[in-house]
Amino acid sequence: MTVPDRDEAERICSAVIARRLAAAVQVVAPITSVYWWRGEINRADEWLLYMTTTAKRFDELAACVRELHSYEVPQIVAVPLVNGTADYLEWIRRETSPERDA
């Protein structure tokens, strides 16, 4: 997803990690986005957030982001993880497990 500035990136990252909705977040910035919005081509400097989570936690992650995001229509997309090492995939599952909060 993209956000307009570092402060919003930090706020969203902190929330999704604290709620165990993502095991990790990588912040890439600045990037330039070019996109259609309300019939016009726009350009914006943004921060890109890559969040590592499970398919089971995606809906909760998306809801959290919508709650905190300043955009009317935030870019929230899932890119499937096709493969990974067993230990890394287990780490993602373990760190995003709702039972860890209990």
How do residues 48-93 score in pLDDT, each as one tens digit?
999 999 999 999 999 999 999 999 999 999 999 899 999 999 999 9
The residue ranges of every structural domain in the chain are 2-101
Residue-level pLDDT at 98 = 84
Percent share of the chain, pLDDT over 90: 92
Spell out the CATH class of 2-101: alpha beta
CA distances from 91 to 44, 49, 60, 69, 73 (A): 35, 20, 19, 27, 31
Say whether pLDDT at 101 is over 80: no
Say whether pLDDT at 41 is over 60: yes
pTM above 0.85, yes or no: yes
